[in-house]
Amino acid sequence: MRRLLALASILGATSVLLGGAPPPVLPAAAAPAFDHIFVIVEENMDESQVIGNPQAPFFNNVLVNGNFRQANYFGLAHGSLPDYLALVSGSEQRQVIGDPPSDCTPTWDQPSPGCAITAAWPSNIADSIETSGRTWRGYFQSMGSPCRWQSNNPVYDVTHNPFVYFKTVEGGGSVSSSRCQDHDVDLYGDNRYSLAADLRSQTTTPNFVFIAPDNSHNMHDGNVGQADRFLQDLFTGSNLSGANGTEPVNIFGAPAWTEGRSIAYVFFDEDSGSFYNQVAAVAVGNWVNGPAERDGGHFTHYSMLRTWEAAWQLPPLGPGDRAAAPMLGAFNLLDPGAASSGRLARGHPEVYARVSVKLGSTGSPTTLLSLASADGTRFRLLVDAQGRLVFENGARAPDGVTTSGLRAGEGWHTVELHLFVRGTTGTCEAWYDGRAVTALSQVRSCPTGSSLIDAYAIGENGAAGAAQFRDPALATSPL
């Protein structure tokens, strides 16, 4: 799977069509099940101070242009701490930090710790991620020692590190838990888990990557240009800021980005102190629409958290995210009322499809998903008469049928199909209930031919038949 995001050619995915001109961006049926979610939180700027600011050319010309700007996005409070806590737990936790909230520091070294959240697991997104079998790590620039909750330094602000406020992460004592020390680390200074080292392979890159630049590189001090240069450093491996040193971070060049299904969210915790508290937020990646802006909702940090939960099918954590709608307008997916078959606006080399299907007893083959190219080549995921999951590759002759040992059970299941057309070295991957089907998945070694994918169908020729289908999702990569 190839995802190249060159500075000169970041492109938005083309919307799905049933014919004619591209439709307006619609809320999607679901969020893609991303392999990696990158989160970078900036500080204390009104949306109008950032969008279009010539001092922020990377943010505007690369991250915003061609991706998805969430132009109706708002912070929740003033003072960093309630916003960060809400972002990861679904609550501003005012019962702990006060009302009105104060930017306090946890006192885990006290018998009755103050400014500390002692709720049971899962109390925050990190707990939920681990419960789901995924991994996470927070990277905090200039923090120094891992899991630093005791104090700030001139540029590290503990209120920008929400995870150390939770007992389930910190451990609840004066000596932080090994979990916290392994997952809450310095962006550069930890010789075990620096972000640059973790990005060397997909397996070492956490599924959830939370990055907090320090106050010299996050616009907190008003230096928009320096923060913008640091964002460019993080994404491209440059060192324009002078802070991306001997082992540079390079998100766009990492295998997790170029070979995995990844997305990056860059947004601000709060504005400069206005009543409205509207801030800039952008979703970056090959699986988002662009350059669209609104999708009709009023969104906050609770919506951001709910979007991550929707992508990984995690339950809500608190009252805020439980009541919030996920931000799905960014994704180039089928809308819930879309037809069960159709043509794409243009051919694409990479397509990801997903649907939930209710299967009955075995006895006759059932087509689940199929993708086709202009030359008539069809790629099909189906259940055969014995109930086994099968992949049919129309570009591979004479033997283009691969049968797995996995038998699909009765009831509702989620199936996914990913194709990257690349001649004799394409990628074909299938998933069943969130797990890769080994016998059917061939990464970078699947003959797919060279004709781009330009049609899709759910069921046989778009007809559901005996099976029931719901929540169709289709995403296209533009490259």
Cβ contact 2:256 at 8 Å: no
**Nearest residue to 85 (alpha-carbon basis) of 327, 318, 265, 326:** 318
Confidence band, pLDDT 50/70/90 cuts, at residue 462: low
Assign 406 a pLDDT band (cuts: 50, 70, 90): very high
Q: What is the pLDDT of residues 296-321, one digit of tens each?
A: 678 999 999 999 998 898 999 999 99
Stretch 386-406: mean pLDDT: 90
Q: Indicate the pLDDT class of residue 3, thresholds 50, 70 and 90.
A: very low
Closest CA to 208 of 321, 88, 323: 88
pLDDT at 12: 26
Q: What is the C-alpha to C-alpha distance for residues 462 and 147, in angstroms, rounded to an integer?
A: 52
pLDDT in tens, 103-130: 999 999 999 999 999 999 999 999 999 9
Give CA angle at 37 (317, 298), nearest 5°: 60
Residue 221 exposed, middle or buried by CB count within 10 Å (0-12, 13-18, 19+): middle
The mean pLDDT of 197-216, rounded to a whole number, is 96
Q: What pLDDT digit, counting tens, does each position of 165-194 carry?
A: 999 999 999 999 999 999 999 999 888 899
254-271 pLDDT, tens digit each: 999 987 779 999 999 988
Q: Could you tell me if 137 and 198 are in contact, meaning their C-beta atoms sit under 8 angstroms apart?
A: yes
Q: How far is CA 19 from CA 339, 341, 343, 345, 460, in A?
A: 12, 11, 7, 7, 20
pLDDT at residue 376, as a whole number: 87
**List of E strands, 43-145:** 68-69, 73-74, 136-140
Q: What local confidence, expressed as pLDDT, does residue 87 receive?
A: 98
**What confidence score (pLDDT) does residue 82 get?**
96
Check residues 433 and 19 and name the one with the higher pLDDT: 433
Percentage of the chain lying above the pLDDT 70 cut: 88
CA distances from 136 to 133, 202, 213, 345 (A): 10, 13, 17, 36
Tokens linked to 125: 């997104």
Q: Determine the pLDDT at residue 477.
A: 64
| pLDDT of 9 above 50 | no
Tell whether the model's pLDDT for residue 19 goes beyond 50.
no
Confidence (pLDDT) at 394: 92
pLDDT bucket at 252, cuts 50 / 70 / 90: very high
Peptide bond into 398 cis (omega under 30): yes
Q: Considering the chain, what is the average pLDDT of its residues?
A: 86
pLDDT for 15 = 28
CA angle 116, 79, 119 (to 5 degrees): 20
In this structure, are residues 348 and 478 in contact, taking their beta carbons and an 8 Å threshold?
Answer: yes
CA dist 140 and 299 (Å) reads 26
Q: What is the pLDDT of residues 69-103, one digit of tens each?
A: 988 899 999 989 999 999 999 999 999 999 888 89
Amino acid residing at 227: A
- Kindly provide the b/e burial profile for residues 449-472, where b requires at least 16 CB atoms within 10 angstroms of the residue's own CB: bebbbbbbbbbbeeebeebebeeb
> CA-CA distance, 219 to 224, in Å (whole number)?
5
**Residue 296 in 3-state DSSP?**
coil
Q: How far apart are CA 328 and CA 325, in angstroms?
A: 9
Residue 30: C-alpha distances to residues 70, 87, 122, 328, 457 (Å):
17, 20, 23, 7, 18
Strand partners, 475: 352
- What confidence tier does 361 reach under pLDDT thresholds 50, 70, 90? confident
Is the pLDDT reported for residue 429 higher than 80? yes
Q: Which residues contact 174 (CB under 8 A, 6 or more apart)?
A: 108, 109
Q: What is the pLDDT at residue 31?
A: 73
What does the pLDDT read at residue 28? 44
